[in-house]
Structures are given as C-alpha cells and as structure tokens.
Amino acid sequence: MKTIMLVCAAGMSTSLLVTKMKKAAEAKGVEADIFAVSASDVDATLEKKDIDVLLLGPQVKFMKKQFEPKLAEKGIPIDSINMQYYGMMNGEKVLEQAFSLIDNNK
C-alpha cells in the first residue's frame, strides 16, 4: 500500500482530486492511502504518518524548496501536481504522476 499526500493552501480544493484519485486506484486494483492536508499541517502530518510521496497543488508549488530538505532526509519524493491534470481534476493522471515519482525514487 502506497501513501500519497497532497498539499494545498487550505486542504479543500484537493479533496475532489483525492476522491478521483481513489476511484482511479480502485479501478486499477491498486491499494493506496490518498489524502490532502493544508500546507500548515505538513510538518505535523509527516511526524505521525509515513508517506511515500508528497504532491503540491498549484497554489502552493512555491513551497517546494521549503519542504525539499525535510523530505530528502526521509527519502520522500516531492513534486508539483501537473497544472493541466489539476485543472481537469484528472485523478488517474495525478495517480500515475505519484506512482512514477515513487518508482523513480527506489
């Protein structure tokens, strides 16, 4: 089971994307724990939960440099969600992006 954390400004706008990603994972027969948190909750969430990848929503992609050192210590890949996939709420494509990052990080 892979754990995918999405980060956005308030944790709201990504909730629809989380739902679509869960449906895409189910359709592919992939077990994944997919959830969204606000940018302010990232540190607390990382302390209590092991994640495999962190994806930033377009509105917080400027925070990537801030999170990179913490995640590098833990060996967790980070990237911004593709703008087009986010705008279209394409859960399948964002799920593929997450798994690609996990696979490339091994």
Note if 82 is an active site residue. Answer: no
- Give the integer Cα–Cα distance in Å for 78 and 5: 10
The DSSP 8-state label assigned to residue 81 in this structure reads P
Which one is catalytic: 5, 6, 7, 8?
8
Beta strands in the chain (DSSP E): 2-8, 32-38, 53-56, 78-80
Would you name the residues annotated as active-site residues? 8
